[in-house]
Structure 1
Amino acid sequence: MPASSVPAVTLVSATEADFEELVALRIDAMRESLERVGRFDPARARERFRAGFSAEYTRHVMVNQQRAGFVAVKPGADQLLLDHLYIRPGHQGQGIGAAVLAKIFEEADARAMPLRVGALRDSDSNRFYQRNGFQFLSEEEWDIYYIRQPL
């Protein structure tokens, strides 16, 4: 996608009050991938998101003053975890996710920390992360893990 057509993306802090909107967006964004592997269960998806949700590390992805998605990056002792990156289905394929990653990469590079991410097996997100500089790290039954080293 030409740089001129990539939308301007800003990241805005989320709050605990945003939980319902965020979990609905996550379920909507994950539905197709989870259905593909026979694991779509909205109640379980909600429970898993609630268990790990931390507003402190979560930011809304804003495009043209609209919430187009959200991202959560959690610090660890020796790496950062890209815990969530979801773009609303109607906003996917426009370069928004890559623009968000560029911002997250700048933050990780400034801290000289690797960035780790997990993706559901058979999800399109696997190609997305590989295309954007992540390298295969390991895999489990349902997830594949990638890492991006700082520049």
Structure 2
Amino acid sequence: MLAIRVEALRDSLERLGRFDPARARERLMAGFKPEFMQHIMCDGERIGFVTLRPDPAAGPPALHLDHLYLRPAWQGQGVGAWVMAWAKAQAVAQACDIRLSALKHSDANRFYLRQGFVQVGESDFDLDYRWSQS
């Protein structure tokens, strides 16, 4: 999972001057919940992964999308939109919103906005988003 994360984030982290494989490993290990992880597969090849977990600290009921990483060769192919449709279906079934954070200056920000997420916060390096079914 680390190799996919580093491969997917490398360009964005380099733009911020923050590419550091050791830090990438630490951040993944600090928040990774394998029981909520789903592999993203195509023709028997692991092309990415996603984690969608309950977020009890979110105020109104929400799921938190901690990780959505696709190998760069698979980005822009509709796979991310398919994964987001799955995540939204999970949220609808559980009557809750989805929260996530994305690295500033990452192409992922445009993707999440196109998927109907609204920016609700900002920190030094991340933008926070929320998707609501209502």
Please give the alpha-carbon distance, in whole angstroms, between the structure 2 residues aligned to 1:110 and 1:140: 30
Q: Are 2:60 and 1:81 equivalent residues in the alignment?
A: no
Show structure 1 runs of 5+ residues with no match. 1-21
Q: Which amino acid aligns with 1:99?
A: W
Q: Are 2:46 and 1:63 equivalent residues in the alignment?
A: no
Show structure 2 runs of 5+ residues with no match. none
* TM-score, structure 2 as length reference: 0.94
Please give the alpha-carbon distance, in whole angstroms, between the structure 1 residues aligned to 2:70 and 2:87: 15
Q: Deviation at 1:64?
A: 2.3
Aligned pairs (5 A) from 1:50-129: 50-77=29-56, 78-129=61-112
| Higher-RCO chain (CA-CA 8 Å, sequence separation at least 6) | 1
Flag as ranges the 4+ runs of structure 1 deviating above 2 A: none
Q: What is the identity percentage for the equivalent residue pairs of Structure 1 and Structure 2?
A: 49
Q: Which amino acid aligns with 1:122?
A: H
Aligned length: 130
Q: Which amino acid aligns with 2:77?
A: Q
Residue 40 of structure 2 aligns to a residue whose secondary structure is: strand
Residue 81 of structure 1 aligns to a residue whose secondary structure is: strand
